[in-house]
Amino acid sequence: MSGPGNSYEAAGVSLERGEKSVELMQDAVRRTHDGNVLGAAGGFAGLYALGGYREPVLASTIDGVGTKVMVANALGKHASLGHDIVNHCANDVLTSGARPHIFLDYLASSRLDPEAVSETVRGAAEACEKLGIALVGGETAEMPGVYSGGEFDIVGVCVGAAERSALVTGETVRPGDAVIGLASSGLHTNGYTLARKAVSDAGLSMSEAHELLPGSITIGEAYVEPHRAYVDEVFALREEVEVRGMAHITGGGLPGNLPRCLNGLGARLDPSSWPEPGVFGFIRSAGKVSGDEMRRVFNLGVGFCVVVRERDAGRSAELLNDLGCPAWRIGTVTERAGVLFV
């Protein structure tokens, strides 16, 4: 027989904390379910009835939010992480022309904090509900030894669908097409290792304000601003104009992500054509980061790009602005591969 100290709890894992986390998040998760959610088969898999497509193609993605979890955890802003992971994954699915339908999350820590976990998942549920995505499953895990202290990680999986004929592959992109940039809300979910280093190198703290940041917000508040989603705006745009390519501007910035939708072509971009949020100026100044490195790491204010015909450029930007998403003509597709800033 095992002694009183020889138990899962004594080893560092509490089944009760996991159960409490699930209990606290259940109502928020259920609100994301519609008639297509059929429940679970024995509790091990979420079931979703995919209807309304003649020749459906599934689009799926998996990602995390990197070391942004460390900022959110330090500030106690866990709901923002839920928004981040859903919106990030939904945007990735969107680039293919697919509409996101279901989402699953995974949270792991050395020791689960039921309140923090449930707040994160409630944030994810809010983001899913806004985008019409069903949160059909998830997993929590305590892994002492892999994580330490209050560290935790979050990963999301999103699955969407599109008619095969409605996929956006970049194959129709042509030289002379216009690149439209859609505004980011700030850092989104990448570059946080460098962004955090800039704060420490400058001898500052997340609780301080800074002259390069708007209003009286603190560095921490600027850093945890949730990732923006573009699903509704882009689908509305596609009803009006032909969208030939789409790119989600995440790690790698514009140089690393825009070429992925250009089918071997390139782009000439004008950085003066869009306003750069103050948080990037702060990082550049506080961290003494070069312009080239900033462009290579951060979105610099452009969180998503669509490529449209030249004649549709003005109309596209105007429509997106009318929908509440600031957007600008930021460049032109070129025959020469790569991204050139002019």
**What is the per-residue pLDDT for 42?**
52
Nearest to 275, CA basis, from 205, 186, 174, 151: 186
At residue 169 the predicted structure's pLDDT band, cuts being 50, 70 and 90, is: very high
At residue 145 the predicted structure's pLDDT band, cuts being 50, 70 and 90, is: confident
User: Is residue 194 within 8 Å of 51, Cβ to Cβ?
Assistant: no
H/E stretch holding 220: helix 219-223
Residues shown for the chain: 342
- Take residue 84 and report the two structure tokens written for it: 């981040």
Q: Which structural domains are found in the chain, ordered by start?
A: 14-166 (3.30.1330.10), 178-341 (3.90.650.10)
Nearest to 188, CA basis, from 119, 139, 257: 257
Nearest to 156, CA basis, from 75, 233, 93, 110: 93
Burial per residue of 25-48, b for 16 or more beta-carbon CB atoms within 10 angstroms, e otherwise? beebbeebbeeebeeeeeeeebeb
**Tens-place pLDDT, residues 24-59:** 667 777 888 888 888 754 578 888 899 889 999 999
For a pLDDT cut of 70, what percent of the chain falls above it? 92
